[in-house]
Amino acid sequence: MSKAIFFDRDGVLNREIGDYVCHIDDFEVLQDSVECVKLAKDKGFKVIVVTNQGGIDKELYSVDELKTFHDKLQDACRNGSTLIDDFYFCPHHPIKGKCLCRKPDSLMIEKAIAKYQLNPALCLIIGDTERDIEAGQKAGISTLLIQPNTEKKRLLEEAIEKLILSEKKS
């Protein structure tokens, strides 16, 4: 079975602006994001983004516009000699009804676990909200809570080393 690092998007990989990122000009990749993706990939982890995007349901932006944000992030990774393996997003907003994919529920993570045959014991989600952590816990993976828009590489290095140690023990 494979292993993965799941990243929340807003506040973890790109700057959290306190509102919906609706325009490409507002989508700023955080300084150490590409380094973190590369670190995870170099250590043999798949890298998967899981992000709530309720602005689609609220018609603030479209799925095509969301794709341009993800393309910008992937281009930054490509320029850093790495790539994100997959993007999962929930287009729903709670004002329109309940769904199972929106974090704090774990369907996005569970789908990736099934698709990539991941071992949950060797997976981690890094997020900047309690709902990210709750989604990870529901999926049975390790969690790492950071402050929004902060450097995360050192914390990620430590978390990856713990996962690698547990992999060696099993």
Write a three-state SS string for 97-114: CCCCCCCCCCHHHHHHHH
Task: Give the domain extent around 32.
Answer: 2-169
Q: What tokens does 136 get?
A: 């990870």
CB atoms within 10 A of CB 109: 27
What are 101-152's pLDDT values in tens digits?
Answer: 999 999 999 999 999 999 999 999 999 999 999 999 999 999 999 999 999 9
pLDDT score for 76 = 98
Which CATH number do you get for residue 100?
3.40.50.1000
Domain count, the chain: 1
Taking the C-alpha atoms of residue 159 and residue 163, their distance in angstroms, rounded to an integer, is: 6
pLDDT in tens, 59-108: 999 999 999 999 999 999 999 999 999 999 999 999 888 899 999 999 99
